[in-house]
Structure 1
Amino acid sequence: MSLIRGSILMVCAALSWNILSLMFKPKLPPIVEGHFHPKFRRVAEIFRNKIENGKEGGAAFALYYKGELLIDLWGGYADEDSAQPWDNNTLTLVYSLTKTMAAITAAKMVEKGWLDYSKPVSAYWPEFKVNNKDNITVEMLLSHQAGLLHPTQNFNSFQDILLNKEELQKEVAQATPAWPAGTQHGYHMLSFALLVDTLLQKADIKHRNIGQIFKEEIADEYGIDSFIGLPYAENYRVAKSMLITAPQMLLSVLLSFDINYINIYINTIFYPTSHTATAFKAPKDVSERGRQNNPVIRAVPFSSFNGFSSAKALAKMLGILASGGTYQGKQLLSKASIEKLNTNMVEGLDNTLLVNMSYGRGFMRLKNSQGDTVYGHTGYGGQVTFADMTNQFGLSYVTNYPSFYFLNDDPRFKDLEKATYLCFQDYIASQKT
């Protein structure tokens, strides 16, 4: 009873603080810029309204169709404290959208013959074989079936990835799965990088880290303005990350009356040994407000969420896949590789997220506003990127003002997505006349 009373008091305190902060915070003039094909004017109007009415603090939204950037909108502020507006050059921390970069990198390595989805992880990482992990395949790891939600107790800081890499990898290799591999699935929110990044580095013929592989094989080759681990020289153009505090998050979830999120956070807070709490357990660099803005932390290559990108870069990357895999005469992935990447590996109740989820080999299989399956990923704060293979476009929404949403259901994005599909139909009709 005292625990419930304490939670209520914490929520009330957070509500009071939020109200007072909003009352005395000076208002900056709304800024919205970008360009769009005339058929998508309604999308631009919705985006502008969200910035002007304060529902969006800083964001970008983009659509790439067959190599053409049809929507490229940005607005609000990259950093309100210094009155730095979001501009055409702004990057932002995209959290779990980074997993799309890792998935495409893995697919590229498979296509090059450096990696095989069907082989056991231990074929590339022999130490991984122990404690009932000998039958975990590469594709099981990528599709969240390994049952290794928190494989290390000594992951206390992001810098451990660089300073204590070998010790971390040894500990991960010794971990025991929470369930027999391939029998269940649960979103490996943070551990994904500890597992997949190590695997890819060991499988790479040059033994590069995940950030280097992505940069050299994907980003540089196809002009993708995205990074896994941010180079120090790029910090000047990154939006300030505005992490939601725990009281703010709890308040927002309770006021939403959304049973899915309430269930997730109840398990995270009140059941510390649950799969949900285990998967969500994070070092201070992640969970404490402001730590993500440290350039040293930003630089760490960590594919679970330490990716930085613009919306148009993600839309371009996913748009290349949606339109066949070729860009300006160069093949990012073959059609066969794209099909493997998107193929459903597992679906049903997710042990971590406690809702039905469907995963391919690193991609989430999502439903768009039309009820059709698209391929990509959602991220903390409501961010989304996906490839619509039917309509042959890539779509992306990023923000540095996160909400509690992360299941492809943030109203800020869904409004834009719905309008985009309606406008896209008009656009296609206009191209036929």
Structure 2
Amino acid sequence: MNGQVAKGFESVRDAFEANFSERGEVGASCCVTIDGEVVADLWGGVADPETERPWEEDTVSVVFSATKGATAICAHHLIDQGGFSLATPVADIWPEFARNGKESATVRMMLDHTVGVPVIREKLKKDGIYDWDYMCERLAAEEPFWRPGERGGYHGLTFGWTVGELVRRHSGKSLGTFFKDHIADPLGLDFWIGLPEEIEPRVAPMIFRRHQPGDPQPPFLEVGLNQPGSIPHLFLFNSGGFLSHGCNTREGHAAELGGAGGITNGKGLAFMYRPFANGGSWDGVTLAGADTIAAMSEVSAASNLDATLQIPVRFGPGFMKSMDHRALGMEGGIIGAQAFGHIGAGGSLGFADPENGISFGYTMNRMGEGLLLNDRGQALVDAVYESIGGMEIRGGGWRKAA
């Protein structure tokens, strides 16, 4: 293990070490800032078990749906600049999308997974997910699974185009280029949506977790494997194979997949969220004002049964909120009550907590059980909140002690 922690945050280092010794971690990175200052910057383990290449300070990996946070930040940056608002009809930005039952769609619905196109019904062409225009055309033609806004269903891959195309249409830049020009480069992030080939040697390949006999069957898999035509089934079997193999290919890394294809490390996630934990600005870079951050922090869609994930969920406009599923025996992700960010499949996580001045990032190569946060990431989050003192899990999230 390498890196450093500030005095008082030794428990974050202890949790990081325990992930390797007790929880099966292979390679990982974790970074935490408090009021903008780095209090933990850790990395270690093995990046590639086949070659025994170590996980270095600049090692990066696919963070799957933690990418959605980056895509949402692009949209909110445009909102903050007055480009459009959460209430703007999608028809004003992407008129081709607002048809076939989607005429009432708004920007907010695109961001909070209520717009109604979590998957595509018709079989995608081979490598279709790597063709931006093709995917946007398919989503524009798709009839919604429900009237936009009436219910929620996690848009696992489609989020990258439903939100990313709004960014592209308004800015005139591809999503990956906009993110690079307006977010990553100004903040000095090692974070890409569409990886340059010269960075490829730094990527840690993802190690998939295979379902073992006796493992609990998550509701998502129960429905997806046994109900053909269902939203979970289509997500599993009509998503272009990125989650099963494409994430370890050059083609997958190069594609601008705003829903699942971002590549970064713990520092990249923590530093991306750092401005939002500190009033919207950091080191001369301003990304959002107070009103925009307040909107990013709010819960705008919640359900006891997400149409895709088949579990209770809480979303802000583009972000996951704290979800305490312990009483249900399900995976979730407990963060600050006012925090917002996003989990990635296998357990990666980035978030900002404006109330407590925290930004956090965790990435790894060995994927854990479930779709949301597992015990490795949660242990790190818990150690952070315990370290700042006076905090307890109450009402579904970390809050100041009563």
TM-score (norm 1): 0.83
Task: State the Cα distance separating 1:80 from its structure 2 match.
Answer: 1.2
Corresponding pairs, count: 381
Aligned equivalent of 1:210, options 170, 175, 196: 175
Residue in structure 1 matched with residue 149 of structure 2 by the alignment: 182
Gaps of 5+ in 2: 324-332, 392-402
Q: Which structure carries more helix by proportion?
A: 1
Aligned equivalent of 1:168, options 135, 143, 146: 135
The alignment status of 1:312 with 2:263, answered yes or no, reads no
Q: Judging changes above 3 Å, is the alpha-carbon distance between structure 1 residues 135 and 169 closer, same or farther for their aligned structure 2 residues?
A: same
The alignment status of 1:417 with 2:381, answered yes or no, reads yes
SS in 2 for 1:64: strand
Alpha-carbon separation, structure 2, partners of 1:366 and 1:423: 19
| Matched ranges for 1:140-155 at <5 A | 140-151=109-120, 153-155=122-124
Alpha-carbon separation, structure 2, partners of 1:181 and 1:159: 25
Alpha-carbon separation, structure 2, partners of 1:49 and 1:168: 42
Alpha-carbon separation, structure 1, partners of 2:237 and 2:2: 38
What is the identity percentage for the equivalent residue pairs of Structure 1 and Structure 2? 28
Residue in structure 2 matched with residue 240 of structure 1 by the alignment: 205
RMSD of equivalent CA atoms: 2.1
- List 4+ stretches of structure 1 deviating above 6 A: none
Larger-gyration structure (1/2): 1
Q: Judging changes above 3 Å, is the alpha-carbon distance between structure 1 residues 426 and 117 closer, same or farther for their aligned structure 2 residues?
A: closer
Task: State the Cα distance separating 1:282 from its structure 2 match.
Answer: 4.1
SS in 2 for 1:38: coil
Cα contact 2:120–2:234 (8 A) shared by 1: no
Alpha-carbon separation, structure 2, partners of 1:426 and 1:116: 37
SS in 2 for 1:63: strand
Residue in structure 2 matched with residue 295 of structure 1 by the alignment: 250
Residue in structure 2 matched with residue 229 of structure 1 by the alignment: 194
Gaps of 5+ in 1: 1-31, 428-433
SS in 1 for 2:339: strand
The alignment status of 1:274 with 2:243, answered yes or no, reads no
SS in 2 for 1:150: coil
1:81-105 CA deviation, whole Å, 9 max, x = no partner? 1111001111110000000000100
Cα contact 1:93–1:307 (8 A) shared by 2: yes
| Matched ranges for 1:96-135 at <5 A | 96-135=65-104
Residue in structure 2 matched with residue 286 of structure 1 by the alignment: 242
Task: State the Cα distance separating 1:374 from its structure 2 match.
Answer: 2.0
The alignment status of 1:37 with 2:23, answered yes or no, reads no
Q: Judging changes above 3 Å, is the alpha-carbon distance between structure 1 residues 50 and 158 closer, same or farther for their aligned structure 2 residues?
A: same
Alpha-carbon separation, structure 2, partners of 1:33 and 1:336: 39
Aligned equivalent of 2:220, options 264, 271, 285: 264
SS in 2 for 1:272: coil
Task: State the Cα distance separating 1:128 from its structure 2 match.
Answer: 1.4
1:213-266 CA deviation, whole Å, 9 max, x = no partner? 10001111121221111111111111111133xxx22x27x42x4xxx522211
Task: State the Cα distance separating 1:392 from its structure 2 match.
Answer: 0.8
Alpha-carbon separation, structure 1, partners of 2:348 and 2:29: 10
The alignment status of 1:348 with 2:348, answered yes or no, reads no
The alignment status of 1:64 with 2:26, answered yes or no, reads no
Q: Judging changes above 3 Å, is the alpha-carbon distance between structure 1 residues 49 and 158 closer, same or farther for their aligned structure 2 residues?
A: same
Deviates more, 1:109-118 or 1:311-320: 109-118
Task: State the Cα distance separating 1:159 from its structure 2 match.
Answer: 5.8
Task: State the Cα distance separating 1:114 from its structure 2 match.
Answer: 2.4
The alignment status of 1:55 with 2:24, answered yes or no, reads yes
The alignment status of 1:83 with 2:52, answered yes or no, reads yes
TM-score (norm 2): 0.89
Q: Judging changes above 3 Å, is the alpha-carbon distance between structure 1 residues 371 and 103 closer, same or farther for their aligned structure 2 residues?
A: closer
Task: State the Cα distance separating 1:71 from its structure 2 match.
Answer: 0.5
Amino acid at match of 2:31: A
Alpha-carbon separation, structure 1, partners of 2:100 and 2:335: 44
1:185-211 CA deviation, whole Å, 9 max, x = no partner? 11011111132222221121xx21110
Amino acid at match of 1:419: A
Cα contact 2:193–2:261 (8 A) shared by 1: yes
Residue in structure 2 matched with residue 197 of structure 1 by the alignment: 164
Cα contact 2:320–2:342 (8 A) shared by 1: yes
SS in 2 for 1:358: strand
Residue in structure 1 matched with residue 399 of structure 2 by the alignment: none
Alpha-carbon separation, structure 2, partners of 1:316 and 1:173: 34
Alpha-carbon separation, structure 2, partners of 1:176 and 1:159: 19
Amino acid at match of 1:299: A
